[in-house]
Structure formats: structure tokens, C-alpha cells
Structure 1
Amino acid sequence: MSDSWPRRRLLAILRGASEPLDAQELARITGQHVTTVRFHLDVLTKESLVRQFQQPPRGRGRPRIGYSAVQRSVGYQELAQVLADQLGNDPRRRSDAAITAGRAWGAKLDAGDHPVDSLEDAREVTMTLLSELGFAPERDPEAAEPEDQVLIRMTACPLRDLARTHSEVVCGVHLGLIQEVLDRNGGRDTVSARLLPFVEPELCVARLELLARREATPVAVGAESPAPEPVLAPPSAGRMPPQLRNGDPNVAKQSAQQW
């Protein structure tokens, strides 16, 4: 839109209106001549900032033309980009901050009331959450999963483009969200959650694991404790868990070696 105060004022009035307004009403509100108002409305219409609607006439005569502002979509992708850039340059700190933010988000969500007493309960809660948020989760029916582990394929992501350059932030938020919702439903001492970004170009994986698996591993007295496995794995092209189906045997073989 050109830098025109009359047009900006008309647009502001239409954005605040609860119903479409015609040129006569706008002329009365602004004090401008109706012909001038119609000129500005034509410009705003051509720039796709307002939309025309046919309204019933007042008394006898032709139908009136009403105008309504086109609601601007919020640039969530751009907003997320700005927020991600504010978390500093240290990837670990960025990831930790993102997970904390995701937990804060999860604490505010209505996550339902499905007690997590088993791995299957955790899967149901996580699948429901991811479905509601637009991740199109799937559990591969042909995947050979251990009894103490579940893999959930996240086939969509509302912020996938940003995740390609800021995975520790975007995926960290999503991981924190999953962890918080599981904890709120009683899964804190039952399951742990990890997120594996971009195991395929358009696929991320959430991995749920029974905590008993780690508790059952003895550590010799005096031996160094193994380093904890990161809950947010670094993205790596082709880093597909061997349990997941992969149509390319070479890729599957290479992924299994890396895993």
C-alpha cells in the first residue's frame, strides 16, 4: 500500500469494524467526500487489503457494496526465526532453553487426562498430542520394535523449514512439549522421550523408552558412568533407526551401522 494516510485510516477503521461498511458510512466516519472514499477503497481492493461484499439496499434502490479488511496472517515462521536467533550461539544452551520453553508450553496445554502407566499409554498420549498439533504422526506397523521402546514417525511439521536450520531450537521445543505432557499424565517415572530430527529429509522420529531399561544396566564399582544419551539427537541425513522401514537397503545398512 502506498504511504497514504487516508487509505491507512480507512483500513484501520475496516479492521476494527464488526461488519462490512459501505462508502457512505466510511465517508461519514472520516469526513471525506464519498467520491474520495470510493477512490481509496478501489486502491485498497486492487492491493488485496480489503474485500467487497454485496449488501441489501436501504429501502428502495440497488444493493450496496460493503467493504471489509482482509485479515493479515501472522508470520509465525518469521516470528519463530527471530526468537530462535535470540538464544545465542551455543547449540547446547539453545537446545536446553528450547526444551525448557517447550515444557512451559506443555504446562499450559489442555493435555487431557490419560494416565501413563505403560509404554502403550505413553504412545497414545504422544500420538494424540502430535496429531492435534499437525505432525501427522504414524506408528509403522511393519517396524520391529523392542518391547521397551516405541518409535513414532512425525511425517509433518508446522515449522519444518525453520527446523532445517535451527533444529536444536524447533525440535527442542517440541521435545520439551512431549516430555511435559507425558510427565503431567504420570509418565515421569515410566518413560523417557527422545527426538531424532530428520532421519529422512521429510521425517523426524519421536522415541519413547521404558525407564526400566536404563535402570537394569549395572555399572561396575569404580567404573566411570557412561555419558547420558542426548535427548535431542543431532540431525543427520540418513540417520534412520534400524527398526524403521527403509526402502533402500544400502541406506538402511549404513544407518544401522551409524546407530
Structure 2
Amino acid sequence: MSDSWPRRRLLAILRGASEPLDAQELARVTGQHVTTVRFHLDVLTRESLVRQFQQPPRGRGRPRIGYSAVQRSVGYQDLAQVLADQLGGDPRHRSDAAVAAGRAWGAKLENPDQPIASLADARDITVTTMSELGFAPERDTATETDEQSLIRLTACPLRDLARTHPEVVCGVHLGLMREMIDRNGGRDAVNVRLHPFVEPEMCIARLEALRSTLPDPADLTDMAEVGEPRLAAPVAGRVGPQLRADPQIRNADTHAGKQSTQQR
């Protein structure tokens, strides 16, 4: 598009409109003569920046021509590559940065009023959050124990990107889940691991209880004042299902890495 302020203004108006607008409506909004508006619309149409639509006439007369801005598709693949490049050259560094970004995202989401007093509470919050974001989560009830719960994520909205940039996309999703659990009282009590593409169209979120008993939500304030609670020793002989996991994603933030060391 040529460097034309009138055309840029018309395009901005059309992008913000909820329905096509005709030349007369645009002339009233911009204060330009309708002939001038039609000239600029013809240029924008030839440059494939706007599209014409036939609209019903107002009263008698010929149908009106409405105009709508062409919505450009977002190049998510290019965006992911840019993000990966900006997050650093080392895959582990990119993973850590992506987890931190996911936590920042989770901090901005509405916090469900459901304090975590059990592994089941953490599972329910995770299922609710990921369902609202379009991941179509499913509980794997056959493998649930007192120490872990598996959630199948069957419809990742960014599946194709995650295949090419798992340390970025999966890292963000992992950080989001950890933040939602931490915000509701699950810090140092429940850890989340993400196992990308255990099947071609499915990932697994594994929630692990890091203590034999989770705190009463009413005691969370007191616990924060006296310091970090001690973790109970892991249950001997308990072996979870063996899943493939990206080592760049597992335990990508600091406190989760310390916890998982205690679990081994």
C-alpha cells in the first residue's frame, strides 16, 4: 500500500468494524467526499487489502457495495521461530525461559476459587484450565494413584508448532500448569511434568504428589511464615508408567528440579 494516510485510516476503520461498510458510511466517518473514499477503496481492493461484498439496498435502488478488511493469517510458524531465536541458542535456556513465560501467562488468568488440599484438587484445576484453553483434557483413571494422576491432552491448539519447537511451546504450557497449581496452594506439594507426543496427537501431563499429605489450605499462611515445609520421603517400590518425555521440558524451572531430585 502506498504511503497514504487516508487509505491507512480507511483500512484501520474497516479492520475494527464488525460488518462491511459502504463508501457513504466511510465518507461520513472520515469526513471525506464519497468520490474520494471510493477512489481509495478501489486502490485498497486492487492491493487485496479489502474485499467487496454486495449488500441489500436501502429502499429502492441498486444493491450497495460494502467493504471489509482482509484478515491476514498469522504466521505462527515464523513467530515460533522468532521466539525460539530470541529465547537463546541453548535448548535448555529456551525451555527455562518458556516455562517462566508460561508462569507469567498463568498469573494473568482468572484464579479458580479452589484451594488445593489433595492431588485430586490439583488434577481438577489442571483439567478445568486446560479444557478452557482448548486442549480437550481427559483423565487417565486407570493409572491414578495416591501419588500421581495422568491427564491426556488430546487437542493441543498449537500442535504443529509444538512438534517443531517443543522447548518453546511445551515449555509455555508446562509453566502455565505449574503456575495455576502454585497459585492455589500446591507449591512444594504437587509437581507437574509434561510428556510431549506420547502418541502422534496426544501429550500427557503427569501430576505427582511430593508429600504424603498435602497441607490444609487454612494453614498455608502459617506455613509461609515459618518457612518451607519438609517433604516426606517417597513411597518405596512405587513405579509410575513409563512415558517418553522431552528432557528439555522435564523440571524446567528451579524449584521443580529440586523436588524431582528428592523423588528419584
- Indicate how the Cα distance of structure 1 residues 35 and 145 shifts in structure 2: closer, same or farther if over 3 A, else same: closer
Report what 1:234 is aligned to.
Answer: 247
Question: What is the DSSP-based 3-state SS (H/G/I as helix, E as strand, rest coil) of the residue aligned with 1:150?
Answer: strand
* Residue correspondence of structure 1 range 1-259 to structure 2 within 5 A: 11-15=11-15, 20-24=20-24, 29=32, 32=35, 36=39, 39-40=42-43, 43=46, 47=48, 49-57=50-58, 60-141=60-141, 143-212=142-211, 215-217=232-234, 233-234=246-247
Residue identity in the other structure for 1:190: A
Unaligned runs of 5+ in 2: 213-230, 236-244, 249-264
Q: By how many angstroms is 1:155 displaced?
A: 0.8
Distance in 1, matches of 2:33 and 2:195, equals: 57
Q: Could you tell me whether the CA contact under 8 Å between 2:143 and 2:150 is conserved in 1? A: no
Structure 1 residues without counterparts, runs of 5 or longer: 219-231, 236-259
* TM-score relative to the length of structure 2: 0.69
Q: 1:60/1:201 Cα in 2 relative to 1: closer, same or farther (>3 Å)?
A: closer
Higher helix share: 2
Q: CA deviation at 1:55?
A: 4.2
Equivalent residues of 1:155, 1:202 under 8 A apart: yes
Match of 2:217 in 1: none
CA-atom RMSD, angstroms? 3.2
Partner SS for 1:181: helix
Cα shift at 1:25:
5.4
| Change beyond 3 A, Cα 1:51–1:138 | farther
Cα displacement (A) at 1:185: 0.8
> How far did residue 216 of structure 1 move?
1.3
Deviation at 1:91, TM superposition (A): 1.4
Q: CA–CA distance in 2 between the matches of 1:75 and 1:171?
A: 19
Q: 1:67 to 1:198 in 2, by over 3 A?
A: same
Cα shift at 1:39: 4.8
Q: Aligned equivalents of 1:18 and 1:195: distance in 2?
A: 39
Q: CA deviation at 1:104?
A: 0.8
